[in-house]
Chains A and B, each alone.
Chain A
Amino acid sequence: MSIIALDRLAKSYRVYQKKEGLFASFAGLVRREYRDVDAVSGIDLRVEQGEFVAFLGPNGAGKTTTLKLLSGVITPTAGTARVMGFVPWRRQNEYRRRFALVMGQKNQLWWDLPAQESFRLHQQIYRIPPDRFQRTRDELVDLLDVADLLKQPVRELSLGERMKMELIAALLHLPDVLFLDEPTIGLDVVAQHNVQQFLKHYQETRRITILLTSHYMKDVAALCRRVVIITQGRIMYDGSLAGIVDRFSSHKVLTVSFGGGQVPNDVVRYGDVLALEPPKVKLRVARSAITDVLASVLANHAVEDVSVEDRPLEEAIAEMFALAE
């Protein structure tokens, strides 16, 4: 049985449409116009135990709303969801002791107290036996290398250090399912890398199920084998990261270095020129024509070097988002 099962899950919001200007603000006191926004429109999804799944999508696509539904923060308009057999929005304590939600922009730690006090509180809230608490905390503190920061008030930690503490707090009760909503947002490259490495190691070691939303393709590429792309509240793709390019990229990039220091004048017949730095040229060629084009180039010109690459993943995904809208 799947650890996470969503069937036709939907959530819509009623959003106030405020017109521009002061007069409209006064008019809004008497009469307001609302619009129904479908944040999630009937999603079906199955996630198996031990999977690390990335949710990708443009802003407002419904990724965070889905995580909020799965963690019981909000109630759906229609459809059902079960996580480890629990209906999330019933908010049973048995369920809440078995999952964790980390939001990159939200702080669950006590701002004015050292993180270790928040950890102690989590121990009691989640009823973690003392020896297990000690063991888990020490292990996580070691892995994230934050032993020196435990006694420092949270408000005095950097964003990266705070995220590490958030992760420790979220994992102290050894959740079976972890929801991560943009855990590396705002972090510098080093901090991003550290958090990525930690999550990778932790998931591989403990085989927990993780759902991650992120706008950083590096997070996704480093961590997730399975990617679910959501646009306008619907699942548009569910598969591997490499599969996105195969399925949605209609072009490849052909780079050729011609002999003799010159690029032939008729090079445009092979494809759209993306970059021209004689004797090198970068061409955009339809996937279906790449074999013929390559054969033709090699037959008709002296070539020093040639390479065929897929388009960068970000570009393929951006094109997909644009198509969906």
Chain B
Amino acid sequence: MVARVLTWWTVLRICLEERLVYRGDFALGTLMRFLPIVTQIFLWSAVFSSVRGDRIETYSFENIVAYYLLTMVSRALSSMPGLASGIARQIRDGEIKKFLIQPVDMIGFLLLMRLAHKLVYYAVAAGPFALVFFLCRGYFSGWPPPTVMLAYLASLVMAFLLGFFLEAAIGMLGFWFLEVSSLLFVYMLFNFFFSGHMFPLDMLPAPWDTFVQWIPLQYLAYFPAAVFLGKVQGAAMVEGLWIQLAWTVLLMIVCRVAFHRGVRRYSGYGG
């Protein structure tokens, strides 16, 4: 057990070191993430100025900005740039072999690699995040109660895991299709609309509101933000957390099964 923890700690440490190699790209990528906030605030202020009343559904302009800031946090955790395409590329060019010959679990390794990416990202972005939230503090109605805060943090952790296993499972399809970019494009498109990244999902009319209940994407961005803002409370919040956990476990299983089946049909491409 101790040996295993040490192994994973070393993997995490090396991933962190690797992540910090390209300073320029990393710094630019981190800071650019904050740019969309400005455009979103302009967009929503234009939308609110063109509607009658000060609310759209149950959201005021302040609610929307707060919602958007919170989805930015959850998406920073649940988005996995390059994960699925990276797995498919490794399958295609044979790089995946190293995971098959070394006594290491590939999925665990990739998960730690992502965790390292997120840790480095948050370590650097914590300052700018704090500044943005401080400047926008007027849009929030205060901190939620401790239990809600705990639920929010749990939903964020699960959003990270869910995002990882979802994209890793798509990457594993590379064992069958070799190229998954089109599939990934479809996924990103769905993710864009149905994770709550663009607008709060409870604004959706029927039958789309039902549709989003049946897919896991809302747990990547909308659900954590809704928990924080008190849009989902009490029994509904607990139920939502259980469903999010169920999706996470299910996709973890799908990812593992896809890996084991895929490796069996793998042809060891690339020399």
**A residues near B, CB below 8 A?**
13, 64-65, 68, 71-75, 91, 93, 96-97, 99-101, 103, 105-106, 108, 110, 112-113, 117-118, 120-127, 153, 181
Contact = CB atoms under 8 A, between A and B. Distances in A.
A127 B101 contact: no
B69 to A, nearest CB: 33
Interface in B1-16: 3, 6-7, 10-11, 14
Contacts of B268: 65, 68, 73-74
Contact residues of A: prevailing secondary structure: mixed
Contacts of A110: 14, 18
B3 A106 contact: no
A75 B264 contact: yes
A103 B271 contact: yes
Contacts, number: 77
A127 B3 contact: yes
Given A75-B264, A127-B7, A96 B14 contact: no
Residue from the set A65, A103, A105 with the largest chain B CB neighbour count within 10 Å: A103
Contact of B10 (A74, A112, A120, A181): A120
B266 to A, nearest CB: 6
A72 B268 CA distance: 10
Nearest to B109: A125
Given A68-B97, A110-B14, 5 more contacts: A75-B266, A117-B14, A121-B10, A126-B102, A127-B7
Contact of A74 (B11, B102, B267, B271): B267
A124 B6 contact: yes
B271 A106 contact: yes
B200 to A, nearest CB: 40
A106 B94 contact: yes
Interface residues on B, range: 20 to 34
B7 A124 contact: yes
Contacts of B6: 124
B95 A106 contact: yes
Residue from the set A64, A71, A91, A118 with the largest chain B CB neighbour count within 10 Å: A91
Contacts of A97: 103
Contact of A121 (B14, B263, B270): B14
B44 to A, nearest CB: 40
A100 B102 CA distance: 8
Nearest to A185: B271
Nearest to A114: B17
26 contacts: A64-B271, A65-B268, A71-B101, A72-B100, A72-B101, A73-B268, A74-B266, A91-B263, A93-B103, A97-B103, A99-B101, A101-B97, A103-B97, A105-B270, A106-B94, A106-B97, A110-B14, A112-B21, A113-B18, A118-B14, A124-B11, A125-B11, A125-B103, A127-B3, A127-B7, A181-B271
Contacts of B263: 75, 91
B137 interface: no
B104 interface: yes
Interface string B91-132: 000110110111110000000000000000000000000000
A121 B101 contact: no
Contacts of A181: 271
B267 to A, nearest CB: 6
Contact of B101 (A75, A96, A105): A96
B17 A117 contact: yes
A78 to B, nearest CB: 15
Contacts of A65: 268
A106 B14 contact: no
A48 B119 CA distance: 49
Interface string B150-189: 0000000000000000000000000000000000000000
Nearest to B96: A73
Interface string B8-52: 001100100110011000000000000000000000000000000
A188 B271 CA distance: 21
B263 to A, nearest CB: 8
